[in-house]
Amino acid sequence: MSELLEIVIISLWISGTALLLSLLWSIPIALTLGLRRFRGRGTLISFFNAMLGIPTVALGLILYLILSRGGPLGILGLLYTPTAIIIGQAILITPIIVSLLTSAIEAVDPEIMNLARTLGASERQASLAVLGEARKGGILAGVAAFNRAVSELGIALMLGGGIAGWTRVMSTEIQRATGAGEFLLSIQLAAVLLTIVFALTFLMNLLRRD
């Protein structure tokens, strides 16, 4: 397998897993924030909005200190593994999914939920009805989150270490190859990365148009 292809596959695999993992908690959080009214809800929404712009190097550093052998979770030995990058990226993109999905749910006509309720839907069925309406927002959230994960550098570098064939992803390899003067490889990888991001965005627009 060529070096380039291997890096691209590892990249997509790591960031794809991060996206799926993040959905496991992001969807329930967004549903709760979007559908329920409780004390502290506004603060929580503001918190997730504020976290949208969290610098990846800061998150990378915090997780490095936690996952490092000298840190509280050091015993797991996760530093410099794909798992560490996946955890970091999943946390990084949580605010993106939560914020976009919450506002998509909020934007849905509240009448739908009421209608569903008056027609005898359970609370859960009604929630799901709203989420169905919010699916365009959901697609946007997923694509934006994946693009952020696959493009970020700080977490992959600090938690992955850029080990060849293991944690070497597109962003870390562009950084390394540029520093080492291997511009051809940098440019190729940058082109692949841009193509992936643009293609996903294009696909998303197609899906949302219906």
* Sequence-separated (6 or more) residues with CB below 8 Å from residue 13: 82
Distances (CA, A) of 66 to 71, 77, 89, 165, 208: 5, 11, 15, 24, 40
Radius of gyration of the chain (CA): 19
Which uninterrupted H or E stretch holds 194? helix 183-209
| Contact between residue 197 and residue 151 where contact means Cβ atoms under 8 Å apart | yes
**Contacting residue, 56, 81, 99, 186, with other proteins by CB under 8 A:** 81
Q: Which positions ≥6 away from 109 have C-beta within 8 Å?
A: 133
Nearer to other proteins, 46 or 125 (CB): 125
Is residue 141 classed as helix, strand or coil in its secondary structure?
A: helix
Contact track, other proteins, 38-67, x by CB under 8 A: ------------------------------
Least distance between other proteins and beta carbon 39 (Å): 27
In DSSP notation, 4-46 reads: HHHHHHHHHHHHHHHHHHHHHHHHHHHHHHHH---TTHHHHHH
| Contact flag: residue 116 with other proteins (CB under 8 A) | yes
Choice from 34, 82, 95, 137 touching other proteins (CB under 8 A) = 82
Closest distance between other proteins and the C-beta of residue 194, in Å?
22
Q: Is 1 a residue that touches other proteins (CB under 8 A)?
A: no
Q: Which of 49, 139, 161, 208 binds other proteins (CB under 8 A)?
A: 161
Rule CB under 8 A: choose which of 36, 132, 194, 203 binds other proteins: 132
Q: Which residues bind other proteins (CB under 8 A)?
A: 13, 16-17, 20-21, 23-24, 27, 68-71, 74, 77, 79-83, 86, 115-116, 119-121, 124-129, 131-132, 135, 161-166, 176, 178-181, 183
